[in-house]
Chains A and B, each alone.
Chain A
Amino acid sequence: MIYLDHAATTPMRPGVWDAMAPYSDDVFGNSSGVHGVSRRAKNALEEARERIAVAIGAGPREIVLTSGGTESDNLALKGSALSSNPRRGVVTVATEHEAVLETTDFLRRLGVPTAVVAVDDNGAVDLDDLVDAVDANTAVLSVMYLNNETGVIQDLLRIVSAVREREPDVLIHSDAVQAFSSEEIDVDALGVDLVTVTGHKFGGPKGAGILYVREGTALEPVLHGGGQELGRRSGTHDVAGAVGLATAMEAAVADRARFKSQVGEVRDDFEKRIVAGAPDSVVNTPESMRSSHHLNVRFPGIRNETLLMRLDRTGVAASAGSACQSGASEVSHVLEGMGLTPDQARESVRFSFGWNSTSEEAMDAAEILLGLVEELR
């Protein structure tokens, strides 16, 4: 199998599983317990938290361990809009992940003022529109760093400074789930208050993520209970998950420069081959402000579900970017947001590359893909 769906999830990096294993075995203790086996688990947990904090330039108290991206996005938005801070509003962007958009809609139904700002044909949010949407009642602004379906990168630095100029007290959240492999995530350099990261997108385990919460940020928990994570996220800790997450984060940070150039080259070669071999194909990923490892491309006249089925049967794994629980491809709200018609969105396929992608397999996949495109056209 040639796996070109790394944006959905990517294999664990070497050493991660081994690092986790003891905490699902000998060191099984509940990190909140009062005895030896629990103290050892607690120690591993806090050590992992420190390593995670270092990887994003944060302090350990600013790390809330969660079950992953969806939970972190929920906590960032619900936690900000429902906190002791009197500001209530939520502002976000039309091409965000469902975890942000559906949470925003939930808050809207609770009576929270919300605004969803449109993007242009390149997927970039208009800075003026975004700033205009933020007002004195806005609790949190959520802007994804790097889009999961298209690889579009938002200009976070400009966004943060422009928004701060208008409303210094608005919290700024960024879902950086897709960015961590290739982009440096330094919370102070970015100037954000809340950041979502999840392990399985860069070689860690599934079910382990974090929400970075800047010191002093008022946040209402989504999960109430025993008061773990300084009251911000209750529930018995997944110690093995935290250790796996920390291990993968360190590996990803150490590998980041290579990833960006080398995986980027694999993607670029793949893209060039596709565009040359299928001249009527349309690359939805913009030419600038794009990631190193995503390629969203449209093949006019070919339904993506048919192409994906044929690719799967030929041993190439790709995706339509967004799938519902049943597994059916849905019309992508991200592509629609960028001005594609529903039919054009249904002709679009996402190829995404990861830490172990190679040029050889990408070229093999390109030939298979071009053969199928020729046949299906």
Chain B
Amino acid sequence: MRALVAMSGGVDSSVAAALMKTAGHDVIGVTLKLWSGPNGEAPTAGCCTVSDAEDARRVAAQLDIPYYVLDYTDEFRDGVVDRFVRDYTSGRTPNPCIECNRTVKFDRLLSGLDDFGSDVLVTGHHARNRFEDGMWSLRRGEDRDKDQSYVLSMLTQAELSRTVFPVGEMTKAGVRSIAAEMRLRTASKPESMDICFVGQRDYRSFVRDAAPGAFEPGPVVDSDGTEMGRHEGIIGFTVGQRRGLGVAVGEPRFVVRIDSATSTVVLGRRDDLEVAGVSLRQLTWTDGVPASGQVIAQYRAHGEPVAATLHEDRLLFAEPQQAVAPGQTVALYDDDRVLGGALIADTFR
């Protein structure tokens, strides 16, 4: 098999490349150059840094596979960063890693697979992709703590049929021990946690800089509409936030809703955070068939899966959920198998 391995410079994709090479496949490694700052400076943290690309290059050299850097900075800016900024200015809570998977990594690499002279795309995601009952099924990774099926929940048969996740069948400890055994330089490299284009900055200052003038001062109101204070812009708030609200009341208050049209931040009590369900948009199904009825839903990358009932684009949680915000991705499961994914359009009580 001719395999194109997306190498981020981390241990998982290093081992994915190593496993494909060891299995005798014709392997090439690529790193995507996704971002340079407004002045062309290289980012300093996260998955798209120069030093990460260097690690990928060195691992590829050690594995003796051809290695290339592909420039997708235009696609990344348009599809991920601009959208990230737009979502926050509209009061939504985006997940840029999922957008990157959707609009850059899987989209561009898979559509270019033939041109690159490869049969399959290989990544270092912790998820399992198996051919079962005449169908590709996406399941949670072997290592539940590291499972990344959530960020892959928008993949469909078209993508899954040409994608391999070699480390999804392993634990993270197992991945690291293979890397150590093969003396890969990334064996004990820490995981990147930051949003790669934001780095160690505060994402709020990033969005403010990227969208100057997008945020206007507005009222902070209680659930009954009483104005309790003023704020400098909705970017300072996320649903569920308790600290830094700039208001003093006896009982703890939380952000329960953000109205971007009127720049209004709505506060409430802990109970007011609870939502009964969400409406969904951009629904996709791994097997192309819409599911309905009892499902397991996960609405944060490392959130607990919860029971829910799906009826068309409305998802009703079995128990009320807190801090659910429009813009977040929901992955839908049957046990450990991904049924599909969607974005939260709105929440309802």
Q: Which of B65-85 contact A (CB under 8 A)?
A: 66, 68-71
- Please, which residues of chain A bring their CB within 8 A of the CB of B57? 327
- Please, which residues of chain A bring their CB within 8 A of the CB of B69? 326-328
A194 to B42, CA, bound (A): 34
- Please, which residues of chain B bring their CB within 8 A of the CB of A376? 115
A350 to B131, CA, bound (A): 44
How many residues of B are counted as interface, with CB atoms below 8 angstroms from the partner's CB atoms? 16
Partner of A328, one of B28, B70, B116: B70
Cβ-defined contact, B28 with A313, below 8 A: yes
Tell whether A325 is near chain B: CB-to-CB under 8 Å: yes
Cβ-defined contact, A326 with B33, below 8 A: yes
Known interface pairs A326-B33, A327-B57. Does A305 touch B68 (Cβ–Cβ under 8 Å)?
yes
Cβ-defined contact, B71 with A306, below 8 A: no
Proximity bits, B52-67, A CB within 8 Å = 1, else 0: 0100010000000010
Cβ-defined contact, B116 with A329, below 8 A: no
Cβ-defined contact, B71 with A325, below 8 A: no
Tell whether B112 is near chain A: CB-to-CB under 8 Å: yes
Tell whether A280 is near chain B: CB-to-CB under 8 Å: no
Proximity bits, B105-130, A CB within 8 Å = 1, else 0: 00000001001110000000000000
Tell whether B283 is near chain A: CB-to-CB under 8 Å: no
Counting chain A residues whose Cβ lies within 8 A of the other chain, the interface size class is 10 to 19
> Which of the listed residues A309, A310, A312 has the most CB atoms from chain B within 10 Å of its own CB?
A309
Judged by DSSP, the binding face of B is mixed
Tell whether B196 is near chain A: CB-to-CB under 8 Å: no
Tell whether B245 is near chain A: CB-to-CB under 8 Å: no
**Closest A residue to B30 using CB positions:** A309
**Closest A residue to B68 using CB positions:** A309
Partner of B71, one of A309, A312, A329: A329
A309 to B113, CA, bound (A): 12
- Minimum CB–CB distance from A221 to chain B (whole Å) comes to 29
Q: Which of B's residues lie within 8 Å of A, judged by CB?
A: 28, 31, 33, 42, 50, 53, 57, 66, 68-71, 112, 115-117
The 10 closest A-B pairs by CB, nearest first: A328-B69, A328-B33, A328-B71, A327-B69, A306-B115, A326-B53, A309-B68, A326-B69, A376-B115, A326-B33
Q: A309-B116, A313-B66, A326-B53 are in contact. List 8 more A-B contacts (CB 8 A).
A: A306-B112, A306-B116, A309-B66, A309-B117, A326-B69, A327-B53, A327-B69, A328-B71
| 23 A-B pairs with C-beta separation under 8 A | A305-B68, A305-B70, A305-B71, A306-B112, A306-B116, A309-B28, A309-B116, A310-B116, A310-B117, A312-B66, A312-B68, A313-B28, A313-B117, A325-B50, A326-B42, A326-B53, A326-B69, A327-B53, A327-B57, A328-B69, A328-B70, A329-B71, A376-B115
